[in-house]
Structure formats: C-alpha cells, structure tokens
C-alpha cells in the first residue's frame, strides 16, 4: 500500500511541476515499541496528497486563466461558476482517491470480487465526472459564449488527461500481484 500511495504522491507532485520535497519528507516514524507507525504514515501521506491536490487546483486555475481569453465582464461571471464546478469536482475526486487507496490496501491479496468492485467504483467515478461536465456546459454557457465553454472544457480535459496518465503509469496492473 505505501509504495502505491507514495507513487501517487510523487505523481501528483510531478503533475504540478513541484517535487514532493516541497512538502517535507514522509519517512517512517517509530512508536514506543520500536516498530513503524503505519497509521501516522498514512495520515501524513493523506495530508501530503491533500496539499498536492490543493496546489494542482491552484495551478489548474492559473492555466485556465492564462489560456481562456475572458473579457472583464465574462471573468466576473465565469470565476464564481468555475469555483462551484471545482467544488463539485473535488468531491468526486475524493472518491477517486478513496478508490486508489482501497486498491493500494488490497494490493498483493486482491480477490476477484475486490478487483471487480474497484473496477466498478473507478468507472462510477469517471461517469460522475462526465455527468458533472455535461451538467455544467449549459451553466457555463449562460456566462460565456459557446466557443469559450468548449475551450474551457478542452483545457480542463487536457490537464486531467496529463494527471490521469501519470497516475496510470504508477499504478501496477492487478495481474502483476500474482
């Protein structure tokens, strides 16, 4: 589990061009009995991933601002809708992270039933993202023209594709555990 989640942390850091050292080391800690404190490690990793996700959202917003040519009037209307969209997307991405954590927990001992459950959960997350995007097309279109809505979603999908590709490259295939 630690290896997969550590890779996730590194990938997210690379996705925003910010190495994991910017958030401190996540070394092992010892408890009173001299063993490793995996609960503390997991909490630290969760905190690191949360910070990375916040940084990704910030950098993503900067990328959208730099590439989506909005007038002052459009920007005034667009950014509150963008923030609302992002808040809903964060909730879905919380589910995505939970699926990755569950995958990491099951790694090495994953049953067929667990593999199918995780597959269905991951596909459900993808479906929710698609549904959210479809929900927001007309909402964005109320505040900016269609060409800018399309451009926004192009930027959004390209950034997400880069992150997803980096994540996929670090998460081992299920069969590799056998």
Higher pLDDT, residue 27 or 124: 124
User: Do the beta carbons of residue 75 and residue 152 sit within 8 Å?
Assistant: no
| Per-residue confidence band for 52, with pLDDT thresholds at 50, 70 and 90 | confident
Higher pLDDT, residue 2 or 112: 112
Percent of the chain at pLDDT > 90 equals 48
Of 25-34, 94-103, 110-119, which gets the smallest average pLDDT?
25-34
User: Do the beta carbons of residue 174 and residue 110 sit within 8 Å?
Assistant: yes
DSSP3 helix / strand / coil % (the chain, rounded to 5): 80, 0, 20
pLDDT score of 30: 37
Q: Tell which residue, 42, 140, 49, 48, has the closest CA to residue 96.
A: 49
Decide: residue 61, CB within 10 A, 0-12 exposed, 13-18 middle, 19+ buried: middle
Q: What pLDDT, in 10s, does the model give residues 101-130?
A: 888 888 888 899 999 999 999 999 999 999
pLDDT score of 8: 53
> How confident is the model over 83-91, as a mean pLDDT?
96
pLDDT score of 3: 54
Domain ranges of the chain: 2-164
> How confident is the model over 159-170, as a mean pLDDT?
87
Kindly report the average pLDDT of the chain as a whole number.
Answer: 80
């Amino acid at each position: 589990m630690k290896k997969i989640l550590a890779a996730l942390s590194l990938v997210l850091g690379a996705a925003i061009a910010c190495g994991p050292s910017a958030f401190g080391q996540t070394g092992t800690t010892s408890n009173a009995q001299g063993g490793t404190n995996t609960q503390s490690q997991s909490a630290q990793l969760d905190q690191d991933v949360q910070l990375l996700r916040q940084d990704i959202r910030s950098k993503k917003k900067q990328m959208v601002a730099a590439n989506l040519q909005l007038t002052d009037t459009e920007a005034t209307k667009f950014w509150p809708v963008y923030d609302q969209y992002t808040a809903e997307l964060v909730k879905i991405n919380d589910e995505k992270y939970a699926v990755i954590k569950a995958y990491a927990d099951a790694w090495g001992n994953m049953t067929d039933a667990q593999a199918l459950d995780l597959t269905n959960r991951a596909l459900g997350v993808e479906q929710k993202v698609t549904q959210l995007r479809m929900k927001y097309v007309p909402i964005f279109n109320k505040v900016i023209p269609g060409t800018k809505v399309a451009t926004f979603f192009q930027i959004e999908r390209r950034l997400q594709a880069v992150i997803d590709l980096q994540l996929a490259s670090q998460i081992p295939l299920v069969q590799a555990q056998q």
